[in-house]
Structure 1
């Protein structure tokens, strides 16, 4: 089945309307001339901590930006859900507010480019009405289904899916769980709507995702470059319940059904992949570079070139704009671990105050008497040692930094990257950037570009390379030697408890 035939203007029973939208399979670079004629590009990043929007002109100058907290509805035990109407309200509100900030009418926006967290999805009916809440990638209720899928597909799973093994966070595992509860959920009326797909449907009544996001879901085969029939059959998921797809960074023309943008107006929609990919594209992360994101999760990302993966037994891989591929390694406990440590040691302080305290108490020589293992925050006991309590914040930041070192050198096996860029909320801290530079013993740059710029660059057809970055932290040889020894202690402690 061709990709064009998978599109739907309303639900799984309806076919793609050529009068309503014309799908283009050209690469985003070949579309650059037409794209630059669109005066305003709205970029959305539907992240795990915040939804963000920015408005760009045709020269990719950022005119305004706005953010809102990710609208979680339920965070209880293993359950993490979002209300679809709250999701749309937040996204539409950002469109209106960012246009107001820029002093332009929302109807002047000609292109909307969307980057998103992966996995998070809901099920909607043929009319686009939600049938379930959004199930977040942070939701942990599908462990049993993940074990069933892994037992069935084993080591071949990584040939097809971005992730090396099935986990309860994957879309395919959560859908299998929902179908156990209601076997008729996708029978003729239900359609799977990943987060950006839902927003596209509210913008222009189309259901579409991209190969970058689809490959992370467990529903798509990277080897076959299409939905993965074997796993769909195993889980009882009808192919027609899945959205259409296009290549990462690709776009298509549609007619707006969004009041904020003007009903019936021509609108170009661009699917910019997962937020890590958009961030790498915005930061100018080229071949041999590594981008570290200090966000909700801790992520190390590299552009791998045009040879498909998998590249390692543990790395995540998938399509990157322009016919290339990426590899990333991650830990769930990034700034989640930082927030845990802050709540335990400085409950009345914000993240910036916590980092300032860590910097203030950084020991000039020797160790601090504590080791912090981020992966143990769920047990409630991540600190090991008997140092002074005032040193706990520093130990927490150091422990997360050691996870960065592990991701770059061991998981990605990048012993000598050309550049190391850092992004995310934690990257604003000069202290933390310097600590990472010392732990890696190499210069670290704060990325100037972000996922919003990356999505806008994809929409415009601009290349990601040669983006200048600021605030370079140079390693201190004495501190680098000290942290190398501390890392050995940390790695040993990580394995023993």
Structure 2
């Protein structure tokens, strides 16, 4: 059983800076879509927050917009599935009003608490039990920050919720957290799939302050009528709680089998594969998050993806912007045309893309960006290509850890904004040394959410149905000469990180405080 010609399913992807709603018909054909952006505020150094009410309105508005686009065709929406960015945290009071904004994954205010967890509070053992690396991104570190730095706020908090839990509570009046999002908090024990009591005791909170745990296929019905009316959908429309954006991106590109690896590069980046049991890393390099029964997603995120090219454009590419305007093309396209002229390895220019710190595999919020090997011969195009290569090398560094834990990749499937660039795709294939498949996907996480929703309501018997939805549009075979160049660059990339690690700490402190707290000798 699957969608009929007059039926559709809606996938919602609540991202860090925007929400995408995509309505899919038979075989994954896109019937309508809507994108609504919302701001990310930085009220203090290291803070990154969003207004949860604004995101709720984006959910309502996007569904209303999609419904409006296809209304004349009369499609019946069988279900709505949720995909959400991980690691957000909102403190709620006893009247279910937010005491804080949504503190998102890029927020680094709990850096001191993350270090304390690692060095004094058994952080590695917590990671091995929960699958979430110790880092300021995680709700674990954020709650500890509240306890230590904002005790009045900590005392007033009735419920700790993420953005998905907040939205679903507003729509349905219940706090539920799917196992996928919950397993990215640092509070869920993978072995039992329950909140980890040892972690809760360490934080001084109770299970009653956390949402009810439910499978990613959990279905909610009976929405608050006013919201259903505003969205233009029947109140009984099934809402499937869904999973995290990373987990669903794998499903959305059909990378769910043994040896199938998904690479996503949007604002940030990630590499992931699916396993049939939880896998954590003694070296602490990767995450392990729940998916569906007996399926887990193992991999790692990098902080610095397409945002690196945007930084380069905004700060250094004003000539390209002016030329692109005159030619009527995207400045990014012109920049990448320049990069295409430069051979693999950027003629000895290497970029460590740590402008916003780094998550996997180093989990070092103090890491800083570095160009290495600059000489008089290097021009604008060399820097552009070095940035493209550096982003891919950061993905490869996680891929090395993933290969050690789960075995070699048989197939690599790529998605995200970077996939629009043939040059960038080829660099990824060359660095990975594997053929790269690029599907035609409107939004991998939204598609994954839609397919999971159909599976949850029993409309399809297997998630393998996604394979009939995914159409491969590009294939790239690695240039083995380039692969050898990149392998040598990767070894240098690793050595440079290790040699600069202490200097990163000193420079990060200087940037935060405006002075050197450590004597430079």
- TM-score relative to the length of structure 1: 0.84
Q: Is the 8 A contact 1:95 1:106 kept in 2?
A: no
Please name the residue that 2:45 is paired with: 77
1:132 counterpart (100, 117, 129): 100
- Alpha-carbon contact 1:359-1:394 (below 8 Å) kept: no
Q: Report the alpha carbon displacement of residue 274 of structure 1 after superposing the two structures with TM.
A: 1.1
**C-alpha contact 1:328 1:412 (8 A) present in aligned 2:** no
1:158-201 deviations in whole A, cap 9, x for unaligned?
2322223x221111221222233554546586222211111112
SS in 2 for 1:254: coil
Is 1:451 the counterpart of 2:422? The answer is no
Question: What are the Cα deviations for residues 418-474 of structure 1, in whole angstroms up to 9, with x where unaligned?
Answer: 110111111111111111111222111113341111000001014444344220111
* Distance apart, 1:394 and its partner CA: 0.9
Give 1:151-166 correspondences, 5 Å limit. Answer: 151-164=120-133, 166=134
Equivalent-residue separation in structure 2 for 1:337 and 1:312 (angstroms): 30
Give the conservation status (yes or no) of the 8 Å contact 1:448–1:468. yes
What is the distance in 1 between the residues matched to 2:6 and 2:388? 44
Q: Is residue 272 of structure 2 the alignment partner of residue 291 of structure 1?
A: no
> Which residue does the alignment assign to 1:469?
472
1:395 matched residue in structure 2:
386
- What is the deviation of 1:256? 3.5
Matched, 1:433 2:425: yes
Report the alpha carbon displacement of residue 376 of structure 1 after superposing the two structures with TM: 5.2
Consecutive unaligned residues of structure 2, counting only runs of 5 or more, are 358-366, 501-521
- Choose which of 342, 353, 359 in structure 2 pairs with 1:363: 342
Match of 1:208 in 2: 176
Q: Give the TM-score, by structure 2 length.
A: 0.81
What is the distance in 1 between the residues matched to 2:6 and 2:149? 46
1:148 to 113, 116, 123: 116
2:212 is the counterpart of 1:244: yes
> Which range moves more in the overlay, 51-60 or 426-435?
51-60
Equivalent residue runs for 1:177-216 within 5 Å: 177-183=145-151, 185=153, 190-216=158-184
The CA deviation at 1:40 is: 4.0
The structure-2 alpha-carbon separation of the partners of 1:377 and 1:182, relative to structure 1 and needing over 3 Å to count, comes to closer
CA RMSD of aligned residues (A): 3.0
Question: Are the counterparts in 1 of residues 429 and 435 from structure 2 also a CA contact under 8 Å?
Answer: yes
Q: Paired residue for 2:249?
A: 279
- Equivalents in 2 of 1:185, 1:377: separation in Å? 28
Whole-angstrom distance in 2 between the partners of 1:163 and 1:277 = 14
Query: 2:493 aligned with 1:460, yes or no?
Result: no
Aligned counterpart in structure 2 of residue 417 of structure 1, from 403, 409, 415: 409
Alignment size in residue pairs: 463
CA distance in 1, matches of 2:97, 2:123: 36
Name the SS of the counterpart of 2:127 in structure 1. helix
Deviations 1:258-288 (A, max 9, x none): 1424698213221221101111111100221
Distance of 1:93 and 1:105 partners within structure 2: 20
Selected match of 2:481 from 474, 478, 491: 478
Bigger mean CA deviation after superposition, 92-101 or 333-342: 333-342
